[in-house]
């Protein structure tokens, strides 16, 4: 009993942490599936840009694996449901969008490639 009284703040912090995780999961699960996929695809664009900055051109399979590892970390429950082939198609679409952004926007190209335009 003394332990509970002396460490009450730990129990409050853990309750807040689990409550936050639960609320986030509940919110994401309550969002329509189409909206969830849209959110994931937007995040994949960001992850592809990060992979491009980190690994550069000509590293397709390595980039895919890098993005997949980020995806597993960010969306562990979704990663168990979505087949890798579907994920790969989503990444291909995100890469196409990224390439379009790089050709159209000099500021993004400068950030990703490090080129001064």
Question: Which residues 6+ apart lie within 8 Å of 93 measured at CB?
Answer: 41
Confidence (pTM): 0.63
Average pLDDT of the segment spanning 69-76 = 89
Confidence grade of residue 116 (pLDDT, cut at 50, 70, 90): low
pLDDT for the residue numbered 16: 92
The two most distant CA atoms of the chain are separated, in Å, by 67
Residue-range domain boundaries for the chain: 1-30, 32-113
């Amino acid at each position: 009993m003394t332990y509970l009284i002396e460490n009450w703040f730990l129990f409050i912090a853990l309750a807040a942490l689990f409550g936050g995780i639960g609320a986030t999961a509940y919110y994401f699960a309550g969002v329509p599936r189409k909206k969830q996929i849209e959110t994931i695809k937007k995040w994949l664009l960001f992850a592809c840009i990060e992979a491009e900055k980190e690994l550069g051109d000509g590293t397709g399979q390595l980039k895919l694996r890098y993005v997949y590892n980020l995806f597993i970390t960010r969306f562990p429950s979704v990663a168990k449901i979505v087949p890798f082939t579907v994920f790969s198609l989503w990444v291909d679409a995100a890469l196409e969008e990224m390439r379009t952004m790089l050709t159209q926007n000099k500021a993004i190209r400068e950030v990703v490639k490090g080129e001064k335009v």
